[in-house]
Structure 1
Amino acid sequence: MTVRVPRRSLRGMSAVAALLAIGAVGCSEVSDAVDGAKDTAKKAARQQSVFSLDIGDCYNPNGKAEGTAFAVEVVPCTEAHEGQVVGEFAIDKGQEYPGDDEISAIADTRCPVEAQKYAPDTWALPKGAALFYYTPTKESWVTGDRAVSCTYTAEKGKFSGSLNTAKSFEPEQITYLKGSNAVYEALWAHQPEKDAVEDDLAGYKAQAKAVAAALDAHVKGLAGIEGTEVGKLRSTLTKAAGNWKDAADAADAFYIAYDPAFTGIDPNKSVAARKELGLATTVPADEAEVWAG
């Protein structure tokens, strides 16, 4: 689940203040105190306003990841870190603050797209990587803040190295990933709020229409990729696209089309094709849980 992490302007913090901890320490403890003070001073010196974060920056949040943030500790990506900025964009909504809900809705839609430009294969992300984002608050909006910084943050533990893998893929791999990512983006971005189809049939049909369109594009992209397993997957997804179209047009028999349509895009069905293309083959835990029933 994507979590909204608002941001505000940074109030200055002096690295010198961290060194004051040495003053009341006994002689036998001076060495440890000095080392601790150096680490604290180093962290303080690395504090950077969330306004100045750039794509590729690796960082450690000050405290919990979720909530209002003024600054983070920016570190080299070669060091263990909890998060990395993987995308950014500006919100174009005029002078009036759109409100927290609309800001979140925009980030929910845009951040997955921006993040996949940086790390296209979401299956290859470290375990526990979750998409977070820093957004303007009502207060910072008044000062001209319109930026959203999309980040992957470790839910547990820390990352090692950069998540930037965009340049490591071949054209056929990128074609596959763009198409596959778009299908699941369409599925989740159009997820109706009601659990029961009967309570929002129009919403479920709209979702089906969006997924069908994404599948059509994905199938078209797969046509230009050679490989036995890719060919098999293309046939499976072509059938699934037909089921999603039937669901989008259904009246009283929505489930008859929806059930096979949903089964048809089970990520487990793409493992063999991914292996053939040299991509990650372990279905992410959250997706595996959804299709496990």
Structure 2
Amino acid sequence: MPYTSGPYAGQPGGPGGPGMPGVGPYGLPPRRTTNGLAIGSLVSGIVCCLPPLGLVLGLLALPQIRKRDQAGRGLAVSGIVLSVLSSLLLVIGIATGGVGTFWGGFKEGMDEAARSKSPFSLRTGQCFTPEGKLEEYATDVTVVDCERPHIGEVTGGFKVTGFDKWPGEDAIDRIAEKRCDTINSGYALDTWAVPADVWLFYYLPSSQSWRLGDRTVTCAFAGEKKPFRGSVRSDATLLTDDQESFLTSVNAIEAVTYREPEEDPDEDFTANKVWATELLGAINTAYAGLGQRTWPAGAAPSVAALRKELAAASKQWLKLATATDADAYWEAYDPAWETLPGDLGADARTALDLTGTPPVGPAGEGASA
């Protein structure tokens, strides 16, 4: 152990003591050092990609070892021998094409390792396939090109805040469902470009990862039953102003239709009336939003026709939203749905270079209402 204090700390060396050339502390001979080039030669000789370097380092090390009376001659000789053998193998490999095969396999292995990630290291826009079954928590996923079959596509993520300790999976799940729904909606504004069997999905922290500081929720679209091809991304960075304005106006109608209460108005009249009022608001907002923009000549007639349909639908949905009881609600229910354009402007979408056909589900039915 080196001294940092005491009678010998900072003292100049004297005869037979510290500091005397060729003599170690307390009169002992100094420890023989190992030549660094010899060590480098052995390491380079072992590493298959550096045999010439190992040969050079070994040849330089031998005279230094003799001149400085250092240790490491055996290391240098071993490095030279290994380097010569490795160099011969390298030359043979180049001549026979074996190096190319090896390097190709090595690169493929490195690429595969780079694609294997934790779900929480995924980045927005990456497509992936989980190791094993699609589930809420996984330890490994493989990143793939979005044009290849994949199970999921990352839409974004967020950090869970507001909890001093593990709040339980149910609490995080409620937060994730709402936040990821908003993130997914902004990521795929062209909803008809999303396959019918691809749905909202997210990875949650586990109680174990939470204790290690993990607070990340990763949001995604994921195939429920089978892989899909192609990216579903159609956010503001990829759309024109006209496309974004159109989709922002009409998407709310589609979103609200999916939230219709499961209970009939006879069972829960209030919930159904609240939902009808919400859908009426979405229809009126879309009508106003589509009227605030000057559309390209090719799309203007289709947008105008859609606004006319929305105006007619608004009148019928007003009757539904203001129904005084369940009987009145049922009386207005079918006429309201009949006036709502089921395609939500397919001609206008096509004219704006958006997806003009709703995704088809397993039974051949369109995904939109």
Scaled to the shorter chain, the TM-score interval is 0.7 to 0.9
> AA paired with 1:158?
F
Q: Matches of 1:246 and 1:105 in 2, distance apart?
A: 34
> AA paired with 2:318?
K
Q: Matches of 2:174 and 2:193 in 1, distance apart?
A: 26
* Deviation for aligned residue 1:145: 3.5
- SS of the aligned residue for 1:88 comes to strand
Asked if residue 241 in structure 1 is aligned to residue 311 in structure 2, the reply is no
- For 1:42-61, list aligned pairs within 5 A: 43-61=112-130
Specify which of 304, 307, 313 is matched with residue 231 of structure 1: 304
**Contact 1:56/1:164 (<8 A) preserved:** no
Percent identical among aligned pairs is 34
* Deviation for aligned residue 1:197: 1.8
Q: TM-score, normalised by structure 1?
A: 0.74
* Deviation for aligned residue 1:201: 1.0
> AA paired with 2:142?
E
**Contact 1:85/1:152 (<8 A) preserved:** yes
**Contact 1:57/1:85 (<8 A) preserved:** yes
RCO comparison, higher one (Cα < 8 Å, 6+): 1
**Contact 1:247/1:257 (<8 A) preserved:** yes
State the match for 1:186 in structure 2: 256
Asked if residue 283 in structure 1 is aligned to residue 358 in structure 2, the reply is yes
State the match for 1:117 in structure 2: 186
Specify which of 186, 192, 201 is matched with residue 269 of structure 2: 201
Greater strand proportion: 1
Structure 1 residues 64, 222: closer, same or farther in 2, change over 3 A? same
Structure 1 residues 96, 214: closer, same or farther in 2, change over 3 A? farther
Deviations 1:253-275 (A, max 9, x none): 11223323333334325212222
- For 1:30-45, list aligned pairs within 5 A: 43-45=112-114
**Contact 1:222/1:230 (<8 A) preserved:** yes
- SS of the aligned residue for 2:266 comes to helix
> AA paired with 1:175?
S
Structure 1 residues 36, 53: closer, same or farther in 2, change over 3 A? same
Asked if residue 267 in structure 1 is aligned to residue 342 in structure 2, the reply is yes
Asked if residue 171 in structure 1 is aligned to residue 171 in structure 2, the reply is no
* Deviation for aligned residue 1:137: 3.3
State the match for 1:30 in structure 2: none
Specify which of 135, 140, 151 is matched with residue 204 of structure 2: 135
Q: Matches of 2:115 and 2:239 in 1, distance apart?
A: 33
Asked if residue 216 in structure 1 is aligned to residue 288 in structure 2, the reply is no
Structure 1 residues 40, 82: closer, same or farther in 2, change over 3 A? farther
Q: Matches of 1:255 and 1:217 in 2, distance apart?
A: 25
- SS of the aligned residue for 1:268 comes to coil
Asked if residue 145 in structure 1 is aligned to residue 234 in structure 2, the reply is no
Deviations 1:28-65 (A, max 9, x none): xxxxxx99999777545532112222211221111111
How many pairs align? 256
> AA paired with 2:248?
K
Structure 1 residues 200, 36: closer, same or farther in 2, change over 3 A? farther
TM-align CA RMSD: 3.0
Q: Matches of 1:220 and 1:210 in 2, distance apart?
A: 15
Structure 2 portions without partners, runs of 5+: 1-101
State the match for 1:254 in structure 2: 329
State the match for 2:154 in structure 1: 85
**Contact 2:117/2:140 (<8 A) preserved:** yes
